[in-house]
Amino acid sequence: MLAFCTYYYIRYRRFLSDTPPGPKPLPFLGNIFDIPTEKYWVVYNEWSKEYNSELISVRAFGQLTIIINSARAARELLGRRSSNYSDKPRLPMLELIGWDWNPGFMPYGERWRVRRRLLHRGLNVNAVATYYPVQVKHTKYFLAKLRRDPRSFVRHIKELTAGLTLDIAYALEDDACASDAHDGFQMLSDSLTPAAALVNAIPALKYVVEWLPMANYHAFAERSRQLCHRIRYDSLTKVKRQVADGTARPSLTLSMLNSSEGRDEEAVADVAGVIFGGESNTSTASAIHAGLQALALHPDVQRRAQAEIDAVVGRDRLPGHEDMPSLPYATAICREILRWHAVGPLGAPRAAIDDDVYDGWLIPAGSTILWNAWAISHDPETYPNPNAFIPERFLDENGQLNGKEEDTNFGYGRRECVGIHFAKATLWVTIASMLSIFNLFKAKDEQDNEIEISTERTTGLASHPVPFVCDIRVRDDNAEELLDSLTLAAEAES
């Protein structure tokens, strides 16, 4: 027995020395007392500097997680070697709360490939161009709400992205569906906690979780499973009912039902559900929220963008997607938003299929792989003064786009987010339209002092700016008249 224990101790020590560096783990428990629960992206980046390594390791109950903290390593491992990093780790907590249907969390295989094909067909760059009129329509609704009640801009952003994706995915207008999706994704985000790591590391605990000290989690998980079922099937059922009575309008769901894959109703439900729920509650809403914040903090950026828009578009219409090539500064603002604000500070987990070596470090098969999107987009060597909001990073000396773009938020390789084109198009038309109509300022208190806007971020699956207030005003009479005409036209259409 002593010889057996000695052998495995030596082997374990050798394993520790071969894998990327990190805090010294405890026997069996690993680094559960070291793993941060707040601003983990900042802590992992600090560890990367402390250990002078692009990759760092953390362990919990025998499970190794490797965090990538550089663009070079992310592109090499997740991009060029993507065949080895396209799998997903099994996360029992996702099964417990009913989120294992999401293609973003599915293991690599035929079930995932079917959903990926459907997603690509509905969200490739050419398909997204056909959604431009729908994006413009919902942007007009957003502008009207912003004028009517500017202090509720967070709610308006959520309604914009929820209404837009519900329209594209199902051609429906249903506030209850939007509420279910928001609540469901919030519960998913809340579940990615240290308590979840315990169940993921010891899968058998998911069968007894209701008897653990966190007993109320059983009711939480049951509620999440119910919401997931509604997100996937309630709107799908409505579309099928409309198909039967001949009233269905064109939508992604209708297109999928009429395709060869339409017989796989579960796949259709998964794809439509993740487009609606994912785009309306994570990346796009978060980016628009951060964009509004950045503009309120930088009136000089607003003035330059408005001068460009006024010169190219004029004052009698909103900027449209067709104006994008002629509005490089507006595009640079959107690129800087996506760099400055890491929507998902840590990318969705991957799993190594086979043993691999990078920079002399062993990456064992079965390891969970994360990339630190925040560290990559805030690398001072690539982006000097990375915490500052500077759209000019993406322009050349002639004021034209310089070809740089930070897409780490959307992932790498075979698992890159299929919604990248849709998210960018929605962000661009929303920001450009908002600049055309409104000025944004810091709000003032009763003593006429400016209220500072915090740039802190929330922790979760999708990171958002912490709550802040700002002053949003229509620019001038020209903008007021344009908004009046747009509102009347929208009312006539509805």
145, pLDDT greater than 70 = yes
Q: Which of 2-6, 251-255, 456-460 has the highest mean pLDDT?
A: 251-255
136, pLDDT greater than 90 = yes
195, pLDDT greater than 90 = no
pLDDT grade, residue 200 (50/70/90)? Answer: low
Tens of pLDDT, residue by residue over 106-129, are: 999 999 999 999 999 999 999 999
Quick one: average pLDDT of 344-368? 94
458, pLDDT greater than 70 = yes
Quick one: average pLDDT of 407-414? 92
Tens of pLDDT, residue by residue over 148-157, are: 999 999 999 9
**How is 328-379 classified by DSSP, letter by letter?**
HHHHHHHHHHHHHS-SSSBPPPEE-SS-EEETTEEE-TT-EEEEBHHHHHT-
Q: What are the domain boundaries of the chain?
A: 2-493
Tens of pLDDT, residue by residue over 66-96, are: 999 999 999 999 999 999 999 998 888 788 8
Whole-number average pLDDT of the chain: 89
207, pLDDT greater than 70 = no
Question: Is 350:415 a contact under the CB 8 Å cutoff?
Answer: yes
Q: Return the pLDDT at 205.
A: 54
* Neighbouring residues of 371: CB distance < 8 A, sequence distance ≥ 6: 67, 68, 74, 78, 346, 347, 408, 411, 412
Counting every residue, how long is the chain? 494
Q: 199 or 40, which is more confident? A: 40
pLDDT grade, residue 32 (50/70/90)? Answer: confident
434, pLDDT greater than 50 = yes
Q: 212 or 441, which is more confident? A: 441
Quick one: average pLDDT of 390-405? 96
d(CA 73, CA 60) in angstroms, rounded, equals: 23
Quick one: average pLDDT of 339-359? 93
Provide the percentage of residues in the chain whose pLDDT is more than 70.
Answer: 88
10, pLDDT greater than 60 = no
194, pLDDT greater than 80 = no
Give the CATH superfamily of 2-493: Cytochrome P450 (1.10.630.10)
Q: Return the pLDDT at 209.
A: 46
Q: Return the pLDDT at 490.
A: 67
pTM listed for this prediction: 0.91
pLDDT grade, residue 138 (50/70/90)? Answer: very high
Q: DSSP class of residue 65?
A: E
Helix (H) or strand (E) holding 60: strand 55-60
Quick one: average pLDDT of 310-327? 97
Tens of pLDDT, residue by residue over 159-188, are: 999 999 999 999 988 766 777 777 888 788
Of 450, 446, 329, 380, the closest CA to residue 45 belongs to: 380
pLDDT grade, residue 7 (50/70/90)? Answer: very low
pLDDT grade, residue 263 (50/70/90)? Answer: confident
206, pLDDT greater than 80 = no
pLDDT grade, residue 202 (50/70/90)? Answer: low
pLDDT grade, residue 465 (50/70/90)? Answer: very high
Of 283, 276, 94, the closest CA to residue 188 belongs to: 94
Q: Which of 166-170, 279-283, 291-295, 404-408 has the highest mean pLDDT?
A: 291-295
Q: Residue with structure tokens 């747009």? A: 486
